[in-house]
Amino acid sequence: MSNLLGVTSSLQQAKFLIIRRDNIGDLLCTTPLIRALREQFPQAWIAVLVNTYTAPILAGNPDINIVFAYDKAKHREPNTSYLKWLWQRVRMILVLRRHHVDYAILAAPGIQKSARRFARWVRPKHTVGFVREQTSDSDIDIPVVFNSVQRHHEVEETFRLLTPFGIVKEPPAMNVVPDSVVVAIAKKQLTTANIDIQSEPQTKQQPLIGIHISARKVKQRWPVERFVALMRALHERHGASFMLFWSPGDENNPLHPGDDNKAKAIMDAAHDLPLLAFPTHTLKELIAGLSLPNTVICSDGGAMHIAAALAKPIVCLFGNSDASVWYPWGVPHVLLQKESFDVNDISVEETLGAYEKLMSAYRFEINLS
């Protein structure tokens, strides 16, 4: 592995481009790498290349100089022609070339041909990325060997790309910055719904609990009746109030299925509980909304990682995801997963018990990770 410790002084003024083109959780799991790079090289220029869907994750991030975002083909607006979409991408690449990037970091575990292609187009002086074995590579001149057999958490895997820069330590927490305007709007909605907000989950007698009901994978989707039963039990035993989060839309939409029907069924069945319905049409709304509850109960997915980046204690329901790679990084949590890898086999009683275990552990600062 290449080691750049001998040229650390020159790196203080270096230009870094971090390329992470994946989904919400993937990008959040890269924020510890960005933070550590900034701490090591406070005077460096740090840019990040992402897709437009996930770009709000980095809004307001103090460790980044600039974010470059492009539309993936499947995300481009219906009225945008292919030629216009292609020209927008070419123009962005030309801008990046003019910055004369010193180091492009392909910030994703595994071998990503598309990220390599972007790096070639940008023409950095050096490219850092994972390779299958320690051999010369025409695209990656600073290689890090990727072990596909012995996997660690996504944060830890990605963080290893900083080894050539002499950064070898425990990765810091993930981070995301809520939009203050959207937070203020959400707080006003809570006040209108007569729901109190307090900031300390370990001392709050009537907790505000975030319940996120949407999940991309079928085996990550907990049923309506269990959400309702759980909320009733939490309210009865702990005086809890709730913010209900979901991806809005029709469940039959082939491109962007939503959970409006599921949310309505929950709200109808829990109409007598202190509950604020908070559909999230944008990532900005989801981040701001999740910044307010004391704790969050959700399935594995982007919302779970946002909650972790907001330092929320989490009860997470795992279906057919690899929990050792995707558990909530850096926050107290209780993870429930059955041998069937189906959240439908997780009971209300188990989830209630997990919440109570989490809160007890949080009070006494027990690390559940």
Q: What are the tens digits of pLDDT across the range 267-297?
A: 999 999 999 999 999 999 999 999 999 999 9
pLDDT of residue 110: 80
- Verify that 148 and 210 share a domain, yes or no: no
Give bridge partners of residue 208 from the DSSP assignment: 241
- Verify that 142 and 255 share a domain, yes or no: no
Rounded Cα–Cα distance for residues 332 and 315 (Å): 9
Rounded Cα–Cα distance for residues 69 and 353 (Å): 42
> Highest-confidence range of 3-17, 127-141, 173-187, by mean pLDDT?
173-187
Report if residue 127 sits inside a domain: yes
pLDDT of residue 114: 86
- Give the rounded percent of residues in the chain with a pLDDT score beyond 90: 74
pLDDT of residue 76: 61
Question: Which alpha helices (H) appear in the chain, and where do they start and end?
Answer: 8-11, 24-28, 31-40, 82-98, 113-122, 154-159, 180-192, 224-238, 260-269, 283-290, 302-309, 323-326, 348-363
Give 71's pLDDT tier (boundaries 50, 70, 90): confident
Q: Which residue has the tokens 């801008």?
A: 95
- Verify that 189 and 159 share a domain, yes or no: no
Q: Which of 165, 196, 218 is the last residue of a domain?
A: 165
Q: Which of 135, 165, 195 is the last residue of a domain?
A: 165
- Verify that 97 and 199 share a domain, yes or no: no
Report if residue 174 sits inside a domain: no
- Verify that 136 and 192 share a domain, yes or no: no
- Verify that 108 and 238 share a domain, yes or no: no
Report if residue 286 sits inside a domain: yes
Report if residue 369 sits inside a domain: no
What digits encode the pLDDT tens for the residues 164-222?
A: 999 999 999 999 999 999 999 999 999 999 998 765 554 456 799 999 999 988 899 99
Of residues 74, 68, 67, 71, the one with CA closest to residue 86: 71
- Verify that 51 and 94 share a domain, yes or no: yes
- Verify that 144 and 238 share a domain, yes or no: no
Do the Cβ atoms of 127 and 102 come closer than 8 Å?
no
Do the Cβ atoms of 185 and 173 come closer than 8 Å?
no
Do the Cβ atoms of 100 and 15 come closer than 8 Å?
yes
- Give the rounded percent of residues in the chain with a pLDDT score beyond 70: 89
- Verify that 203 and 124 share a domain, yes or no: no
Rounded Cα–Cα distance for residues 189 and 243 (Å): 10
Q: Which of 101, 134, 165 is the last residue of a domain?
A: 165
Report if residue 304 sits inside a domain: yes
C-alpha gyration radius of the chain:
22
Report if residue 170 sits inside a domain: no
- Verify that 205 and 347 share a domain, yes or no: yes
What is the count of structural domains for the chain?
2
CATH for 330: 3.40.50.2000
Report if residue 349 sits inside a domain: yes
Of residues 211, 29, 21, the one with CA closest to residue 116: 21
Give residue 120's domain range.
Answer: 5-165
- Verify that 246 and 316 share a domain, yes or no: yes
Report if residue 316 sits inside a domain: yes
**Mean confidence (pLDDT) of the chain:** 89
- Verify that 112 and 186 share a domain, yes or no: no
